[in-house]
C-alpha cells in the first residue's frame, strides 16, 4: 500500500514540479499566435478550450493501453510501479509534451515532418513509412478488438460488427474535429477517469492488501524485466503512438502555456490510470501467478470485466463493456485521422502542393483506410504484437528529435537525450529478443543491443563534442 500511495504522489509531483522544469527549458510565449488561429481551416485547425483538449488528448493516447498494458505489466509484480512512475515523468510526459509543442512551433506539422527537420531527410523517409504503418496497425487492432466483444454481447456477427466499427472510424476521421471529437470525446475521457478512480477506491475492499515493492518480490519469475516490461507497459509509461496524436491537439491550443496541461498533464493522468489498474490486478488476484492464470483463461478483457463487476456490481459490468468497446474505437479513429494528416504532409513535401477539397480528403482517407480494413481480418493478438515494438521505435525517434531541437536551440537537451538513450537500449534489445522480432537468445540480444546503443551514443556525443576533440589534434598555425 505504501508503494502505491508513494507512486501516486510522485506522479502528481512530476506534473507540478518536473513538468514546470520542462516547460521552463523549452520556454513558452503566450504572445505568439498558435496554429489554431494562423492556420484555421474549419477541419483540423480551430481553437478549443484546454480542459476539453486535455480530456480528448487523454482519450486519444489511452484507448485500452493503460488498462490492458498495465494488467499485463502486473505480471512483473510491484516493480511495474517503478517503471510507470519513472517512465511517465521522465519519458512519456516529456515525449508527449515535445511532440505537441514542437508541432505547435511548426504550424501544426506532423511527427514525420518534425523528424525531417531535426534528424534529416533520410530519417524522415523511414519514419514516414513506420509511422503510417503503425497508425494502420493501431486502427486495425482497435477495430478488431471491440468488434469481437460486440459480437459476443450483441446479436451482431463479427463481420457485421467490424463493418459498423470501421465505418464509424472512417467517418469520424474526416469530419471537422469539433463535430464528434470535440463534443463527445471529453465525456468518454471523463468516463475513463471515473472507471479508474472507482477501481482505485474499490481496491481497498479487496480481500488482499495492495502489494509493496520489496527485495523478495522485485522479480517474481523468469521473465526478463529488461526490456520486456518497457514494451509491455507502453501507454502507461511511454508510447510512440502519442507523438502521432499530440499534433492533432497542437492544432487546437489557444496559447503555448496550455501545452503542459494538455500534453504533459494527459500523460501523467494516463500514468495514474495505469498504476491503478496494475495495482488492482495484483491485489484482486493476490499474486502474479493468479493474474497470469486469469489472463490466460479469458484475456485482459475478461480480467477487466471481473474486477469491474466485483467492485461496482452490474454497473461496473456495463462500464467495463463500454470501456472495452468505446475506448479503442475513440483511439482508432484518431489513428486514422493522424495517418491521413501524415499522408497529406508527405504528398505536400513530394509535390510541393497542398491537397484541398473533399475529393482530396476522401482520397487520402481511402489510401490509409483500405489496408487498415483488410488487416482487421487478421487475429487481434497477432496485430498487437507488432504494434508493440514499432510503437517504441517511434517513441525513441521522437525523443531524439526533441533532443536535437534543444541542441539547436542551445537549451538543456538532457531532458530528452537521457530517456532517448534509455529507450534506444530497450528497443534494440527487444527487437533482437522478442518472438515478433528476430527471436534470438537473451544473452545474444543483450550483446547486440549494446552494440547498437554504443553506436548511437557515440554518434550523438561526437556530434556534440567532436569539434572539441578535433581541435585537440589540430596543428597550431605558424606565426607569419
Give domain status of residue 318, yes or no. yes
Q: Is the model's pLDDT at 363 over the cut of 80?
A: no
Helix (H, G, I), strand (E, B) or coil at 417: helix
> Could you tell me which of 297, 298, 307 has the C-alpha nearest to residue 277?
307
Q: What is the Cα–Cα distance from 393 to 426, expressed in whole angstroms?
A: 10
Question: How does pLDDT run across 410-425, given as a tens digit for each residue?
Answer: 999 999 999 999 999 9
Cell of 370: 483500405
Q: Is the model's pLDDT at 215 over the cut of 80?
A: no
DSSP annotation string for 106-156: TTT--HHHHHHHHH-HHHHHHHHHHHHHHHHHHHHHHHHHHHHHHHHHSS-
Give domain status of residue 44, yes or no. yes
Q: What is the Cα–Cα distance from 70 to 2, expressed in whole angstroms?
A: 19
Contact yes or no for 394/141 (Cβ under 8 A): no
Give domain status of residue 259, yes or no. yes
- Looking at residue 356, its pLDDT comes to 64
Q: Is the model's pLDDT at 399 over the cut of 80?
A: yes
- Looking at residue 334, its pLDDT comes to 81
Please state, as a whole number, how many other Cβ atoms lie within 10 Å of the Cβ of residue 413. 20
Top mean-pLDDT range of 35-44, 292-301, 320-329: 35-44
Helix (H, G, I), strand (E, B) or coil at 354: coil
| 172 secondary structure, DSSP code | H
Q: What is the Cα–Cα distance from 289 to 275, expressed in whole angstroms?
A: 19
Residue 322 sits in a domain whose CATH number is 1.20.1740
| 475 secondary structure, DSSP code | P
Mean pLDDT, to the nearest integer, of 291-302? 82
Question: How does pLDDT run across 139-187, given as a tens digit for each residue?
Answer: 887 787 777 777 777 788 888 888 888 888 888 878 888 787 888 888 8
Please state, as a whole number, how many other Cβ atoms lie within 10 Å of the Cβ of residue 103. 26
Contact yes or no for 327/308 (Cβ under 8 A): no
Give domain status of residue 37, yes or no. yes
User: Using N-to-C axis directions, what is the helix angle for 50-62 and 181-202, rounded to 10°?
Assistant: 70
Is residue 262 very low, low, confident or very high in pLDDT (cuts 50, 70, 90)?
very high
Give me the chain's average pLDDT, please: 86
> Could you tell me which of 375, 115, 409, 384 has the C-alpha nearest to residue 244?
115
Task: Give the chain's domain count.
Answer: 1
**Residue 133: HSE in the Cβ half-sphere, 13 Å Cα cutoff:** 16
- Looking at residue 251, its pLDDT comes to 94
Give domain status of residue 451, yes or no. no
Q: What is the dihedral of CA 72, 322, 144, 382, to 10 degrees?
A: 0
| 258 secondary structure, DSSP code | G
Please state, as a whole number, how many other Cβ atoms lie within 10 Å of the Cβ of residue 478. 5
Cα–Cα distance list, 307 to 1, 187, 290, 311, 458 (Å): 18, 23, 13, 6, 48
Contact yes or no for 255/100 (Cβ under 8 A): no
Give domain status of residue 416, yes or no. no
Contact yes or no for 318/58 (Cβ under 8 A): no
Q: Is 117 exposed, middle or buried (0-12, 13-18, 19+ CB in 10 A)?
A: middle
- Residue 25 domain boundaries: 2-388
Cα–Cα distance list, 160 to 25, 91, 156, 164, 365 (Å): 51, 40, 6, 6, 21
Give domain status of residue 449, yes or no. no
Q: Which element (helix H / strand E) includes 216? A: none
Q: What is the Cα–Cα distance from 364 to 347, expressed in whole angstroms?
A: 10
Read off φ and ψ for residue 219, nearest 5 degrees.
-145, 90
Q: What is the Cα–Cα distance from 167 to 425, expressed in whole angstroms?
A: 39
Give domain status of residue 346, yes or no. yes
Q: What is the Cα–Cα distance from 197 to 219, expressed in whole angstroms?
A: 28
Q: Is the model's pLDDT at 200 over the cut of 90?
A: no
Residues with Cβ within 8 Å of 269's Cβ and at least 6 positions away in sequence, in order, are 54, 58, 193
> Could you tell me which of 186, 158, 10, 154 has the C-alpha nearest to residue 89?
10
- Looking at residue 336, its pLDDT comes to 84
Amino acid at each position: 500500500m505504501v508503494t502505491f500511495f508513494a507512486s501516486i504522489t510522485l506522479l502528481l509531483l512530476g506534473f507540478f514540479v518536473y513538468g514546470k522544469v520542462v516547460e521552463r527549458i523549452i520556454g513558452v510565449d503566450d504572445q505568439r499566435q498558435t496554429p489554431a488561429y494562423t492556420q484555421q481551416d474549419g477541419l483540423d485547425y480551430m481553437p478549443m478550450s484546454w480542459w476539453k483538449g486535455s480530456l480528448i488528448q487523454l482519450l486519444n493516447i489511452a484507448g485500452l493501453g493503460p488498462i490492458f498494458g498495465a494488467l499485463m505489466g502486473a505480471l512483473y509484480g510491484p516493480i511495474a510501479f517503478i517503471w510507470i512512475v519513472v517512465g511517465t515523468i521522465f519519458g512519456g510526459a516529456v515525449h508527449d509534451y515535445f511532440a505537441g509543442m514542437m508541432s505547435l512551433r511548426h504550424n501544426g506539422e506532423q511527427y514525420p515532418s518534425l523528424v525531417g527537420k531535426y534528424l534529416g531527410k533520410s530519417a524522415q523517409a523511414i519514419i514516414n513509412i513506420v509511422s503510417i504503418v503503425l497508425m494502420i496497425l493501431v486502427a486495425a487492432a482497435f477495430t478488431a478488438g471491440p468488434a469481437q466483444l460486440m459480437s459476443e454481447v450483441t446479436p451482431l456477427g463479427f463481420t457485421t460488427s467490424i463493418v459498423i466499427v470501421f465505418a464509424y472510424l472512417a467517418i469520424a476521421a474526416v469530419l471537422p474535429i469539433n463535430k464528434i471529437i470535440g463534443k463527445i470525446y471529453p465525456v468518454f475521457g471523463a468516463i475513463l477517469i471515473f472507471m479508474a478512480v472507482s477501481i482505485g477506491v474499490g481496491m481497498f475492499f479487496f480481500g488482499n492488501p495492495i502489494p509493496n515493492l520489496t527485495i523478495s518480490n522485485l522479480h517474481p519469475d523468469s521473465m526478463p524485466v529488461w526490456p520486456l516490461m518497457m514494451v509491455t507497459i507502453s501507454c502507461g509509461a511511454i508510447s510512440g503512438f502519442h507523438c502521432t496524436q499530440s499534433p492533432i491537439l497542437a492544432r487546437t491550443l489557444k496559447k503555448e502555456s496550455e501545452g503542459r496541461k494538455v500534453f504533459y498533464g494527459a500523460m501523467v493522468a494516463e500514468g495514474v490510470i495505469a498504476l491503478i489498474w496494475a495495482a488492482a490486478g495484483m491485489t484482486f488476484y493476490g499474486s502474479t501467478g493468479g493474474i497470469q492464470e486469469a489472463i490466460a483463461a479469458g484475456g485482459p478483457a475478461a480480467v477487466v470485466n471481473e474486477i469491474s463487476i466485483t467492485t461496482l456490481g452490474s454497473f461496473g459490468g456495463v462500464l467495463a463493456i463500454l470501456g472495452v468497446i468505446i475506448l479503442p474505437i475513440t483511439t482508432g479513429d484518431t489513428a486514422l485521422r493522424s495517418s491521413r494528416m501524415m499522408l497529406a504532409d508527405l504528398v505536400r513535401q513530394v509535390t510541393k502542393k497542398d491537397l484541398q477539397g473533399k475529393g482530396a480528403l476522401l482520397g487520402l482517407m481511402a489510401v490509409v483506410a483500405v489496408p487498415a480494413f483488410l488487416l482487421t481480418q487478421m487475429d487481434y493478438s497477432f496485430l498487437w504484437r507488432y504494434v508493440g515494438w514499432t510503437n517504441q521505435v517511434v517513441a525513441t525517434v521522437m525523443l531524439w528529435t526533441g533532443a536535437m531541437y534543444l541542441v539547436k536551440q542551445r537549451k538543456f537537451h538532457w531532458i530528452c537525450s537521457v530517456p532517448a538513450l534509455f529507450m534506444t537500449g530497450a528497443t534494440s534489445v527487444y527487437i533482437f529478443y522478442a518472438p515478433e522480432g528476430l527471436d534470438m537468445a537473451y544473452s545474444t540480444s543483450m550483446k547486440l543491443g549494446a552494440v547498437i546503443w554504443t553506436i548511437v551514443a557515440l554518434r550523438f556525443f561526437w556530434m556534440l563534442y567532436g569539434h572539441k576533440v578535433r581541435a585537440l589534434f589540430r596543428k597550431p598555425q605558424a606565426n607569419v
